[in-house]
Amino acid sequence: MIKHHPSDETLFRYANGSLEPGPRIVVAVHVGGCATCASRIGEFEALGGSLLHDSEWDQMDAGALDSVMARIDADEADHTRAAAPGRRLPRADVGIRLPQVLDDCGIGPWRWIGPGVRWSRVTLPDDDSANVMLLKVTAGRRLPEHTHVGLEYTHVLKGAFHDARGRYGPGDLDEADDEVQHQPIVDKEGECICIAAVEGRTKLRGLFGRLVQPLFGG
């Protein structure tokens, strides 16, 4: 049962394409398993469709259609051309089955980052600079109290943690901004694995950011 979802603002930005690559992939992981959010994004996309349909319009260049038709002809005449193979990024085995939406991403090996905490770098196929990572925290561990600078998106893949705001289990997405000050504690029953991203290409400062920042050369 999913209890924590991205905000409507985040889903709105997902739908209109303005959510940054890192947060976008974390939200995509959540949406892949959340019919409620998939439906909300569908609504915002329908809003985009409706705005496009009723939009004002700009004159296209003379010959625009002909030029697109010529490209279609060129493509169709060239049946032999195979699609360029995508970049294959190295994928370490992180011990759990990752959501399909991450299939094209590179996955780094687990690295020790502090007592009971390991991280693995997630590389997006087309954007090396996005700050996305997997985090694994051992059962029962209490993380240092901290705040965030900018929005940080954390989606639980396995296990659970809780703080003053509630409990976050598999499928939950925690959207924490600079007003959130918390001290998450991982459930005693087992380790917790999350995928997390932070808005902006600036340094990571949040929960996990504080831990991994040195590794990103921050």
Partner 1 sequence: MNASGHYFIADKAVLAFDPAKTGLAVTMRADQEVLSPLEASRLLMAVAAKRDRAAFAVLFAFYAPRLKAFLRRSGMTASVAEDVAQETMLLVWKKASYFDPARAGASTWIFTIARNARIDRLRRDGRPAAIAEALDPSDQPDEPVSGEQAMIAAEREERVRTAIALLPPEQADILKKSFFGEETQSEIAYTTGIPLGTVKSRVRLALGRLRQILDDLK
> Which residues contact partner 1 by CB under 8 A?
8-9, 12, 15-21, 24-25, 28, 31, 38-39, 42-53, 55-69, 71-72, 75, 86, 101, 104, 124-127, 130, 201
Across-strand partners of 44? none
Task: Rank residues 101 and 185 by Cβ distance to partner 1 and give the closer one.
Answer: 101
CB of 75: closest distance to partner 1 in angstroms? 8
Q: Which two tokens stand for residue 208?
A: 């996990």
CB of 166: closest distance to partner 1 in angstroms? 21
CB of 207: closest distance to partner 1 in angstroms? 23
Task: Rank residues 40 and 118 by Cβ distance to partner 1 and give the closer one.
Answer: 40
Q: Is 119 exposed, middle or buried (0-12, 13-18, 19+ CB in 10 A)?
A: buried
Neighbours of 47 (CB within 10 A): 13
Task: Rank residues 128 and 145 by Cβ distance to partner 1 and give the closer one.
Answer: 128
Cβ proximity of 11 and 37 under 8 Å: yes
Q: How far is CA 97 from the centre of its chain?
A: 16
Task: Rank residues 63 and 190 by Cβ distance to partner 1 and give the closer one.
Answer: 63
CB of 199: closest distance to partner 1 in angstroms? 10
Task: Rank residues 16 and 181 by Cβ distance to partner 1 and give the closer one.
Answer: 16
CB of 201: closest distance to partner 1 in angstroms? 7
CB of 119: closest distance to partner 1 in angstroms? 21
C-alpha closest to that of 106 among 136, 82, 77, 134: 134
Cβ proximity of 197 and 23 under 8 Å: yes
CA 177 – CA 174 distance, rounded (Å): 10
Across-strand partners of 162? 167, 185
Three-state secondary structure call for residue 216? helix
Task: Rank residues 103 and 188 by Cβ distance to partner 1 and give the closer one.
Answer: 103
CA 175 – CA 137 distance, rounded (Å): 19
- Residue with tokens 């901290």, as numbered in its chain: 146
